[in-house]
């Protein structure tokens, strides 16, 4: 028979608050970490050793301060981000905390058990505009309990899997750094910028047809209405779909073939270089897809290369280089709008080296991408295992 207990039976529950910001002495020194939802991780349970913000000893009496080993859960806005305090901390009103009774519950087991209730909590959040789980609702949340020895064993299993996932994610980051380092090794003379003999504007590349297509996504009357999105069809993607250097189509939407055929621009295809130019500015990706076409939202611009002159993988790496970044940041500083208009992009200078060098770099990227794919597949397998165990242990 399974045993369950409400959180309020397993420890003391506290809702955070914010010491008066009008009193400057509350924030005059970094004495106590002051945690906000941004300090908690979305998909992992981290031990929280530091924060982006701190309060002073002067604010102690106004703050809600909890000891090491307290489990935190975001309960306003973003629901269900979990963390464990690794030191004494204060926290704001968007977070509920539980100081566990160690005679009844293991801290890490408790954190995983609450995390397993994330979807349930999101469904229970009782405000349409800003989702919220109040202190009472949080305290009544029921989790499965076991003996302390079983709890410790389960927590260790899940911690080990999370550590493996974290290590592989670090490996992915390292591989990306290696690619950028290789780019610098091969094309270090880019520091000459516009003085380089290989410097050319985007407009000149369009005139020469080295870039055969340069258009952003659909605006105004061409932008699809909510009822036009369907469950399957032609992908419709935006800047938020760029994840870890790839397009995550699960974050996108779909339109029918008939609706897709009515778009006049923003129609991308395999190997187009996509640049996020609006709201989120800067991410670049080479589109890898088997779809005949992909429709772009207003936040993306497509660059289509004539591969006799420009290799897409090289163009992507160049657009991530400081020489290119400096150009669009200079334009952004002249306006309050966080975007890089397509007309501005056509004035930017690009350094296009000999094709032999571009091909050498692209071959290196291809080899590295194979390693990244293997690592990502390992992460996916581990995540599937973790999800299965979470269901078995807490479902």
Instruction: Give the N- to C-terminal CA distance of the chain in Å, as an integer.
Output: 14
**Mean pLDDT computed over 358-383:** 95
Is position 251 within any domain? yes
Q: Is residue 192 predicted with pLDDT exceeding 60? A: no
Is position 390 within any domain? no
**Mean pLDDT computed over 195-210:** 87
**Pick from 214, 192, 7, 174: which is nearest to 97 by CA?**
7
Is position 282 within any domain? yes
The two three-digit tokens of residue 136, written as one number: 């009472």
- Give the whole-angstrom CA distance, residue 40 versus residue 121: 17
342 and 207 in one domain?
Answer: yes
**Mean pLDDT computed over 249-256:** 95
Is position 9 within any domain? yes
Domain total of the chain: 2
Question: pLDDT, tens digit, for every residue of 277-305?
Answer: 998 899 999 999 999 999 999 999 999 99
Strand, coil or helix: 81: coil
Is position 224 within any domain? yes
Using the structure block, give the residue that is written with the tokens 């369009």: 206
337 and 255 in one domain?
Answer: yes
Domain with 295, as residue range(s), is 199-352
| Planar angle of CA 369, 323, 193, nearest 5 degrees | 120
Is position 98 within any domain? yes
104 and 204 in one domain?
Answer: no
Question: pLDDT, tens digit, for every residue of 68-101?
Answer: 999 999 999 989 999 999 999 999 999 999 999 9
- Confidence class for position 128, pLDDT limits 50, 70, 90: low
127 and 249 in one domain?
Answer: no
83 and 207 in one domain?
Answer: no
340 and 204 in one domain?
Answer: yes
Q: Which residues contact 225 (CB under 8 A, 6 or more apart)?
A: none
**Mean pLDDT computed over 314-330:** 93
Q: Which residues contact 387 (CB under 8 A, 6 or more apart)?
A: none
CATH number at residue 80: 3.90.220.20
DSSP string, 284-349: EEE---SSS-EEE-TTEEEEEE-TTT--HHHHHHHHTSHHHHHHHHHHHTTSSS-B--HHHHTT-E
Q: Report the chain's mean pLDDT, rounded to a whole number.
A: 92
Q: Is residue 195 predicted with pLDDT exceeding 50? A: no
Q: Which residues contact 291 (CB under 8 A, 6 or more apart)?
A: 234, 235, 270
58 and 126 in one domain?
Answer: yes
Is position 25 within any domain? yes
């Amino acid at each position: 028979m399974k045993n369950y207990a409400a959180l309020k039976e397993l420890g003391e529950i506290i809702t955070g608050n914010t010491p008066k910001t009008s009193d400057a002495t509350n924030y005059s020194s970094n004495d106590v970490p002051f945690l906000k939802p941004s300090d908690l991780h979305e998909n992992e349970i981290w031990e929280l050793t530091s924060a982006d913000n701190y309060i002073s000893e002067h604010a102690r009496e106004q703050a809600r301060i909890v000891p090491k080993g307290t489990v935190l859960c975001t309960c306003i806005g973003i629901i269900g981000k979990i963390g464990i305090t690794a030191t004494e901390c204060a926290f704001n009103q968007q977070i509920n905390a539980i100081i566990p009774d160690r005679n009844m519950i293991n801290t890490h087991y408790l954190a995983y058990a609450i995390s397993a209730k994330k979807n349930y909590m999101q469904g229970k959040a009782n405000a349409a505009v800003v989702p919220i789980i109040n202190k009472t609702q949080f305290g009544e949340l029921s989790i499965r309990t076991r003996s302390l020895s079983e709890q410790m064993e389960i927590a260790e299993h899940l911690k080990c899997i999370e550590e493996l996932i974290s290590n592989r994610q670090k490996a992915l980051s390292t591989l990306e750094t290696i690619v950028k380092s290789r780019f610098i090794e091969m094309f270090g003379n880019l520091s000459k910028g516009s003085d380089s003999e290989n410097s050319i504007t985007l407009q000149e590349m369009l005139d020469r047809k080295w870039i055969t297509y340069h258009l952003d996504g659909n605006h105004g009357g061409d932008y699809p209405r909510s009822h036009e999105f369907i469950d399957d069809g032609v992908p419709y993607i935006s800047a938020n779909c760029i994840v870890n250097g790839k397009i995550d189509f699960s974050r996108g939407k779909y339109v029918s073939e008939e609706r897709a055929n009515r778009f006049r621009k923003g129609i991308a295809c395999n190997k187009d270089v996509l640049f996020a130019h609006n709201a989120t500015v800067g991410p670049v990706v080479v589109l890898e897809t088997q779809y005949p076409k992909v429709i772009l939202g207003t936040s993306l611009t497509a660059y289509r290369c004539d591969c006799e002159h420009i290799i897409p993988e090289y163009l992507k790496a160049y657009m991530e280089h400081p020489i290119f970044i400096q150009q669009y940041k200079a334009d952004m500083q002249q306006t309050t709008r966080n975007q890089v208009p397509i007309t501005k992009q056509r004035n930017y200078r690009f350094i296009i080296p000999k094709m032999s060098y571009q091909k050498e770099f692209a071959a290196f990227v291809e080899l590295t991408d194979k390693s990244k794919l293997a690592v990502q597949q390992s992460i996916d397998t581990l995540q599937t295992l973790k999800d299965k165990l979470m269901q078995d242990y807490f479902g």
